[in-house]
């Protein structure tokens, strides 16, 4: 099984995280930010990842450090759990509808970091959560997982739906990308021989 445990402590956050890429979608999440908990629970469910996370962060300031640092820790967990990436499909993409919203995501676990976050979120907040933190989360993730991630909003008006559709779409894309192809279990999908 491809499992990672990450403990990350800074002056702003204290994070403990375990990830099983070959799970069933179970999660126990306590980020200190209710909306982010909701997003991570559905990320685990739709990606079929087992994810346990606790974070004590300086949320009395705002949710910025907590959100960014959890993205960093989750990216580190993916990189660790993928190991040498033998047998991995490497690529995944999803177009996901959620009510009026339609989100496209595509990922390549290439060993290189790039994010395109083409979201047009109409409100500055969902509840107490600053919607600009969605991009900060995924930036932290891609820099540490070392992947290319493209997110495009094809339609949508409701901020909650746009963000939720994004986390669901990315989860499904990542589920496909980390999947092991049994026919090529000893192969790395790169002409370089490494990812």
User: Is the pLDDT confidence value at 1 over 90?
Assistant: no
Q: Does residue 192 sit within a domain?
A: no
The CATH number assigned to the domain holding 28 equals 3.30.230.40
Count the domains in the chain. Answer: 1
- Overall pTM surpassing 0.85 (yes/no): yes
Q: For the segment 135-194, what is each residue's pLDDT rounded down to a tens digit?
A: 999 999 999 999 999 999 999 999 999 999 999 999 999 999 999 999 898 899 888 888
What sign for the dihedral angle of Cα 189, 78, 143, 158?
Answer: positive
- pLDDT score for 185: 87
Q: Does residue 195 sit within a domain?
A: no
Strands (E), 82-140: 91-98, 101-108, 114-118, 125-126, 129-130
Which range of residues forms the domain containing residue 117? 3-184
């Amino acid at each position: 099984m491809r499992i990672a445990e990450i403990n990350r402590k800074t002056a702003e956050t204290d994070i403990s995280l375990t990830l099983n890429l070959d799970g069933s979608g179970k999660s126990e999440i306590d980020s200190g930010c209710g909306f982010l908990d909701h997003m991570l629970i559905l990320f685990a469910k739709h990606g079929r990842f087992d994810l346990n996370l606790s974070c004590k962060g300086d949320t009395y300031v705002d949710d910025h450090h907590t959100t960014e640092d959890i993205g960093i820790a989750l990216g580190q967990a993916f990189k660790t759990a993928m190991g040498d990436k033998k047998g991995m499909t490497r690529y995944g993409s999803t177009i996901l509808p959620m009510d009026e919203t339609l989100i496209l995501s595509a990922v390549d676990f290439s060993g290189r970091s790039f994010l395109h976050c083409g979201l047009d979120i109409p409100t500055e907040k969902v509840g107490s959560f600053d919607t600009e933190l969605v991009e900060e989360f995924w930036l932290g993730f891609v820099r540490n997982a070392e992947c290319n991630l493209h997110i495009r909003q094809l339609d949508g008006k409701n901020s909650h739906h746009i963000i939720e559709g994004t986390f669901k779409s990315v989860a499904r894309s990542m589920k496909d990308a980390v999947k092991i192809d049994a026919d090529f279990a000893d192969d790395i999908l790169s002409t370089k021989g490494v990812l």
